[in-house]
Chain A
Amino acid sequence: GAVVSQHPSRVICKSGTSVKIECRSLDFQATTMFWYRQFPKQSLMLMATSNEGSKATYEQGVEKDKFLINHASLTLSTLTVTSAHPEDSSFYICSARGPGLNGEYFGPGTRLTVT
């Protein structure tokens, strides 16, 4: 139980385009979802927290107009990287929490490469 999926697992896009990453909770209702980013050889850094039906809360230094987060349902959150640049190339991981569950459940991650 408590499985989180992400799609796509890998994506390559050209500089200036936008790319959408989906995070789904497959067998539970995710009242809260988190988006993390990981640069090579660095730890995961929280980008934003989203509660279903509410606007996401972004961490300091994360541009909310560049990283659009939508959590419109209890099983789906999306992260859209707008006008992507090569420095946005990173590993993006989502996680979810739900009522009655202990801990946080992580998706498998999405590797974004911007050329």
Chain B
Amino acid sequence: KQEVTQIPAALSVPEGENLVLNCSFTDSAIYNLQWFRQDPGKGLTSLLLIQSSQREQTSGRLNASLDKSSGRSTLYIAASQPGDSATYLCAVGSTGNQFYFGTGTSLTVIP
């Protein structure tokens, strides 16, 4: 069974800093990988989707990379802002048509 781990569990940075969130998974036979944002009490907002054949995706200040062979993905956030404060979830899509979620990284950006 696929296991997804996110490190760190919580992160606090000053505004303007660049930061990296990490996601690792145990089974490299994945279909795709998605990064989500979740605000307290709210549903998920999809940030970036990387297909298994891709190595990275970019959207604005966000860049996600994927290294299937090592079972790792990173989400890079440039020039962080207080509005970026949220929980970031990594989800691995398996070839069995199912997503496996990590436990998330809670990010706080301090003004």
Q: Which residues of A line the B interface, CB within 8 A?
A: 6, 32, 34, 36, 42-46, 49, 91, 93, 95, 97, 102-109, 111
Are B103 and A42 touching (Cβ within 8 A)? yes
Chain A residues within an 8 Å CB radius of B41: 91, 111
11 new A-B pairs (CB below 8 Å) besides A6-B43, A49-B97, A103-B46?
Answer: A34-B98, A44-B91, A44-B101, A46-B99, A91-B41, A93-B43, A97-B97, A106-B44, A106-B46, A108-B42, A109-B43
Q: Tally of A-B residue pairs with Cβ under 8 A?
A: 49
A34 to B44, CA, bound (A): 14
**B86 within 8 Å of A by Cβ?**
no
Q: Chain B, interface size: which category?
A: 20 to 34
Main DSSP-derived SS at the A contact region = strand
Q: How far does the Cβ of B18 sit from chain A's closest Cβ, in whole Å?
A: 26
B70 in the interface, Cβ–Cβ < 8 Å?
A: no
A46-B98, A49-B98, A109-B42 known; A102+B103 contact, CB < 8 A? no
- The A-contacting residues of B in range 31-86, CB under 8 angstroms, are 32, 34, 36, 41-44, 46, 49, 51
Task: Indicate if the CB atoms of A106 and B49 lie closer than 8 Å.
Answer: no
